[in-house]
């Protein structure tokens, strides 16, 4: 039986999945499944239901995605967020970003890269690095791991490589960042 896919922007974590599931439930729709960026329904929704969903989703910071290019962009961003923030293979350092994205998005990496650059105004690699640095900042704020342990966890070749990349992106060393009274974190969906 064919299902209907509804694509949603700004879903970045398990709380987002729960929030979107709740919104659909409150709209009288029971999703078959909810994943980052996608809701699967048994049947299509009507225009009135769609309008109500749009409003409810926007109130919680989400947005329906209609065009194919925007859905693909969101798919790329979601795959990178899953990789960086949910640890799919980062720590072993063996992740090949282009291969990972090609597999996750079922598309040629050069086409994904071109689309991403056109729509986001930055390369996939810069976005990936920005997400990694935000994750490193989170881990530094938690203050449970050393820079060396964070380097291993995030798949950097060495603590020095992590520190150099961190400084080039933030202008601060990890130690200087930890010493800040107010640590500037960027929400994952705003990177």
- pLDDT the model gives residue 182: 84
Q: Phi, psi (5° rounding) for residue 116?
A: -60, -50
User: What is 67-191's CATH topology?
Assistant: Arc Repressor Mutant, subunit A (1.10.10)
Burial 59-68, CB ≥16 within 10 A → b, else e: eeebeebeee
pLDDT in tens, 41-84: 999 998 999 999 999 999 999 999 989 999 999 999 999 999 99
User: What is 4-65's CATH topology?
Assistant: Alpha-Beta Plaits (3.30.70)
Sheet (strand 4-9) strand order: 33-35, 38-41, 4-9, 63-65
- pLDDT the model gives residue 95: 75
What's the whole-model pTM score? 0.82
pLDDT in tens, 163-183: 999 999 999 999 999 998 888
- pLDDT the model gives residue 88: 54
pLDDT in tens, 109-164: 999 999 999 999 999 999 999 999 999 999 999 999 999 999 999 989 999 999 99
Domain ranges of the chain: 4-65, 67-191
Is the confidence at residue 86, as pLDDT, over 90? no
- pLDDT the model gives residue 29: 92
pLDDT in tens, 17-36: 999 999 999 999 999 999 99
Alpha-helix residue ranges (DSSP H) falling in 63-143: 68-85, 97-105, 109-120, 124-142
Is the confidence at residue 186, as pLDDT, over 70? yes
Note every long-range contact of 110-113, with CB atoms under 8 Å and residues 24 or more positions apart, other chains counting.
112/72, 112/76
């Amino acid at each position: 039986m064919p299902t209907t896919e509804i694509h949603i922007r700004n879903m970045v974590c398990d709380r987002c999945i729960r929030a979107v599931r709740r919104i659909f439930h409150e709209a009288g729709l029971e999703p078959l499944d909810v994943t980052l960026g996608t809701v699967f329904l048994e049947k299509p929704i009507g225009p009135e239901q769609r309008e109500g969903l749009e409003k409810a989703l926007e109130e919680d910071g989400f947005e329906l995605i209609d065009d194919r290019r925007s859905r693909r962009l969101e798919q790329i961003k979601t795959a990178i967020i899953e990789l960086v923030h949910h640890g799919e293979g980062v720590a072993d350092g063996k992740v090949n970003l282009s291969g990972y994205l090609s597999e996750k998005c079922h598309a040629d990496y050069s086409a994904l890269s071109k689309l991403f650059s056109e729509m986001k105004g930055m390369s996939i690699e810069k976005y990936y690095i920005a997400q990694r640095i935000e994750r490193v900042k989170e881990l530094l704020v938690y203050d449970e791991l050393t820079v060396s342990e964070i380097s291993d966890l995030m798949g950097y070749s060495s603590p020095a490589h992590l520190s150099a990349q961190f400084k080039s992106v933030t202008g601060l060393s990890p130690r200087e960042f930890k010493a800040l009274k107010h640590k500037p974190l960027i929400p994952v969906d705003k990177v």
